[in-house]
Amino acid sequence: MTVTLEPPTPARPPASVAAVRVPNRTTGGELRAIKIVFYRELLRFLSDRIRIVTALVQPVLFLFVLGSGLGTLVNLGPGLSLRTFFYPGILGMSVLMTAMMAAASVVWDREYGFLREMLVAPVRRGSLVLGKCLGGAVIAGFEGLVVIAIAGLVQVPYSPTLMIEVFGIQLLLAFTICAFGMMMAARIQQMQSFMALNMLLIMPMYFLSGSMFPSRHLPTWLTVLNRIDPLTYAVDPLRRLVFDHLHVTAATRASLDAGVSWDGWHVPTLLEVGVVAVMGVFMLAVAIAAFSRSE
Amino acid sequence: MAGIPAVPGGAGREEGAGRLVAVATIADEEQRAVAVSARGLVKSYGDIQAVRGIDLDVFSGETFGFLGPNGAGKSTTISMLCTLLTPSAGSAQVAGFDVVRQRDDVRRHIGLVFQDQTLDGYLSAQMNLRLHGELYGVPASVLPERTERILKMVGLWDRRKSKVNTFSGGMRRRLEIGRGLLHSPRVLFLDEPTVGLDPQTRASIWSYIQELKATEDITMFMTTHYMDEAEYCDRIAIMDDGRIIALETPEALKASVGKDRIRITTDDDAKAIGLLGERFGLEANMSEGEVTFSVEEGEHFVPRLFSELPVAIRSVSVARPTLDDVFMAYTGRTIRDAEASASDINKQMMARMGRRPR
């Protein structure tokens, strides 16, 4: 009976599992969070081999089936096939598809509950979103590399500078698209809804971007839509880079690779890249704000 | 593994055994650190109040249970304490931090085991723990060792490299509980930790929880709507309709309901009923072929019964009041009735939402 009179706590054996002191929030802690979320994205991607392949089906279909098929109808000039003309757009499209799928994974995470585990962690939501976007960008960049690797099949030379510059733009585009996807995913609860929205946005974005036609001399409504499409500002520099390495006449190049203009003013390449970067940062900020508000 | 059954039987039972402990607890209140406290906590959605003002103190090292039917407001309350929901009114502190103003500090000091699974099924058990450790800032130097200890504790060390998708429901739950402990939280919140599991798995989860209680200096705060599980707790708050209607040790709660029910079969039941009335002043009657009556401290009464009742007794059973009886005594209905009416309320709510707002 004396036992019951003792206060219940002290008779406890020493903790068998070493106690850990969790330190306060630090920049280091945030970096660690970004790193581990990034790492998880890569792990998930590498373990999902089907996704690696399926993400490439559509770009390849566009390039070879549509490119070869439509190529019989048009004559772009000596030494230039429609496939080659499509190629810069396909470099962008492969990234677009994969980056959107990477962003979509946050909707899966929400449906399967894992998002909750991340959201309740004592780290900034921004670190989680940034880690996810960087992870998605690298995954999409990897898919982009595959498309770079098939350059020879569409008569584009394997030049190291070309490949490096193209890859740089792909990475940047991938990041921006990921941020765009995350911005949408922040408000979407179900995968079906995201997929529907994805289909609704991806194809128009691709078609409007000037991937399949030069963005000069379009009807006004199409010009307006073309100029507000973020993909336009990635496809145009990609095309310029590719055409720099092709042997085509100046006239052909002038009609097919005319560049993007704002009200008659020719937008320089660096500014185009800047537009993609600024859009990416802006959409990332919107995504972070949206995730910070929820729960 | 051999040590597990000994723990709950030992320290755990003694703590809960007598009301003396409860008295000592209150006397020591000054010294004992409060791990969770709430004052006037309210959560309302429009004009519907899910939680209608809750006051409670949970002491450090205690296992505290929230018991009540579905829809009583348990999960809403626990979500507010875990900083997942912002209270509409009132205040709460967890591990010394305010749940609204010091949200991150609270999160760093609590472990959460949710009602729904929150593991990444495509990653290994080990990777799930690593992710958690990195997000919670567990120092990299201790993380591998800590992960190993946790995995061994929940009995999943051999399966550490398997994807969580290949685990059974019980294994996932164990992993989630282990994960909740990885960053050495001061308070572990468990929202319906055994819901949807088979009885055997439920029992094994409880033996883990009891073991934890013995080995880790941790406060556990859990919700359940299983009456039998509530008895593992040091103290229980019974919730109904957004309010705490009773807060006591399981023993004290049961004692407040009072008498044990004794059922006997004898050679001459009619005579036994008569004698029970004459000699002991007990009102006995026949129920399901047995002589049934109620008495305080039934196990002490049985020896007297044998020595003083001049009728041969063939069998005896003593039934202590269960928490089901307690819930019944406080609310006038069983948990099942309460859940049925809660779903009625939900239907009414849906119907009202369908109409135009007033």
pLDDT per residue as tens digits for the range A106-128: 999 988 889 989 988 888 899 99
Q: What single string gives the DSSP state of each residue in B25-62?
A: HHHGGGTSPEEEEEEEEEEEETTEEEEEEEEEEEETT-
Domain annotation covers residue B290: yes
- With an 8 Å Cβ cutoff, are B116 and A18 in contact? no
Q: What is the CATH number of the domain that holds B214?
A: 3.40.50.300
Within 211-270 of B, beta carbons closer than 8 Å to A belong to 214-217, 234
Domain annotation covers residue A9: no
Tell me what pLDDT residue B20 has. 40
A184: which 2 tokens?
């949408």
Bridge pairing between strands B290-295 and B260-266: antiparallel
Q: Is the pLDDT of residue B130 over 70?
A: yes
Give B116's contacts in chain A (Cβ within 8 Å). Answer: 113, 116
For tokens 């729960």, the residue is: A295
**Residues B298 and B191 reside in one and the same domain:** no
Counts for chain B of helices (H) and strands (E), in that order? 15, 14
**Which chain A residue's Cα is nearest to B60?**
A9
The stretch B250-279 carries a mean pLDDT of 84
Domain annotation covers residue B342: no
Domain boundary among B203, B229, B254: B254
Measured between alpha carbons, how far is A85 from A88 in angstroms, rounded to an integer?
7
**Residues B182 and B303 reside in one and the same domain:** no
**Residues B19 and B85 reside in one and the same domain:** yes
Within 75-114 of A, beta carbons closer than 8 Å to B belong to 109, 112-114
Measured between alpha carbons, how far is B81 from B185 in angstroms, rounded to an integer?
14
**Which chain A residue's Cα is nearest to B217?**
A15
CA A177 from chain centre, in angstroms, equals: 4
The model's confidence at residue B353, banded by pLDDT at 50, 70 and 90, is low
Domain annotation covers residue A2: no
B335: which 2 tokens?
């948990």
Q: Domain count of chain A?
A: 1
- With an 8 Å Cβ cutoff, are A22 and B108 in contact? yes
**Which chain B residue's Cα is nearest to A115?**
B118
CB A100 within 8 A of CB A176: no
Tell me what pLDDT residue B345 has. 59
CB B64 within 8 A of CB B339: no
Domain annotation covers residue B301: yes
**Residues B250 and B302 reside in one and the same domain:** no
Give B75's contacts in chain A (Cβ within 8 Å). Answer: none
Taking only the tens place, the pLDDT of each residue in B301-336 is 888 888 888 888 888 888 877 777 777 777 766 666
What percent of chain B has a predicted confidence (pLDDT) above 90?
25
B66: which 2 tokens?
């929230």
CA angle A258, A100, A245 (to 5 degrees): 30
Measured between alpha carbons, how far is B127 from B146 in angstroms, rounded to an integer?
13
Does A34 contact B at CB distance below 8 Å? no
**Residues B158 and B230 reside in one and the same domain:** yes
CB A92 within 8 A of CB A131: no
Tell me what pLDDT residue A21 has. 60
Within 161-190 of B, beta carbons closer than 8 Å to A belong to 181-184
Domain boundary among B254, B278, B310: B254
Tell me what pLDDT residue B16 has. 38
What percent of chain A has a predicted confidence (pLDDT) above 90?
48
* Domain, as residue range, for A254: 32-293
Taking only the tens place, the pLDDT of each residue in B8-45 is 333 333 343 333 444 444 444 445 789 999 999 999 98
Query: Which of the two residues, A4 and A164, has the higher pLDDT score?
Result: A164
Q: What is the CATH number of the domain that holds B294?
A: 3.30.70.260
Domain boundary among B254, B280, B308: B254
- With an 8 Å Cβ cutoff, are A23 and B139 in contact? yes
Domain annotation covers residue A86: yes
CB B176 within 8 A of CB B117: yes
Distance from CA of A5 to the nearest CA of B (A): 6
Domain annotation covers residue A15: no
Domain annotation covers residue B156: yes
Domain annotation covers residue A22: no
Strand order in the sheet with B260-266: B285-287, B290-295, B260-266, B313-319
Measured between alpha carbons, how far is A256 from A214 in angstroms, rounded to an integer?
6
Taking only the tens place, the pLDDT of each residue in B58-106 is 999 899 998 888 888 888 999 899 888 889 999 999 999 999 998 888 9
* B196-210 CB burial, b ≥16 within 10 A, e <16: ebeeebbebbbbbbb
**Which chain B residue's Cα is nearest to A294?**
B84
Give A113's contacts in chain B (Cβ within 8 Å). Answer: 114, 116-119
Distance from CA of B3 to the nearest CA of A (A): 13
Give A22's contacts in chain B (Cβ within 8 Å). Answer: 108-109, 136-138, 183-184
**Residues B31 and B86 reside in one and the same domain:** yes
**Residues B151 and B287 reside in one and the same domain:** no
CB A211 within 8 A of CB A89: yes
Distance from CA of A239 to the nearest CA of B (A): 39
**Which chain B residue's Cα is nearest to A34?**
B135
Domain annotation covers residue B352: no
Give A29's contacts in chain B (Cβ within 8 Å). Answer: 137
Measured between alpha carbons, how far is A68 from B101 in angstroms, rounded to an integer?
63
Domain annotation covers residue B182: yes
Domain annotation covers residue B348: no
Strand order in the sheet with B187-191: B110-113, B187-191, B219-224, B63-67, B235-240, B243-248
**Which chain A residue's Cα is nearest to B153?**
A17
Q: Domain count of chain B?
A: 2
Does A17 contact B at CB distance below 8 Å? yes
Taking only the tens place, the pLDDT of each residue in A142-159 is 889 999 999 999 989 999
Distance from CA of A4 to the nearest CA of B (A): 6
Please give the radius of gyration of chain B, using alpha carbons only, rounded to the nearest integer.
24
* Domain, as residue range, for B61: 6-254
**Residues B95 and B24 reside in one and the same domain:** yes
**Residues B243 and B263 reside in one and the same domain:** no
**Residues B294 and B145 reside in one and the same domain:** no
Residue B347: C-alpha distances to residues B159, B342, B343, B354 (Å) = 44, 9, 6, 11
CB B164 within 8 A of CB B175: yes
Domain annotation covers residue B338: no
**Which chain A residue's Cα is nearest to B32?**
A9
**Residues B72 and B211 reside in one and the same domain:** yes
CA B150 from chain centre, in angstroms, equals: 23
Q: Is the pLDDT of residue A17 over 80?
A: no
Phi, psi of A33 (to 5 degrees): -65, -45
Give A27's contacts in chain B (Cβ within 8 Å). Answer: none
CA end-to-end distance (rounded Å), chain B:
61
How many residues belong to chain A? Answer: 295
- With an 8 Å Cβ cutoff, are A17 and B114 in contact? no
What percent of chain A has a predicted confidence (pLDDT) above 70?
91
CA angle A130, A280, A139 (to 5 degrees): 55
What percent of chain B has a predicted confidence (pLDDT) above 70?
84
**Residues B165 and B298 reside in one and the same domain:** no
Tell me what pLDDT residue A42 has. 92
- With an 8 Å Cβ cutoff, are B184 and A21 in contact? yes
Three-state secondary-structure class, residue B189: strand
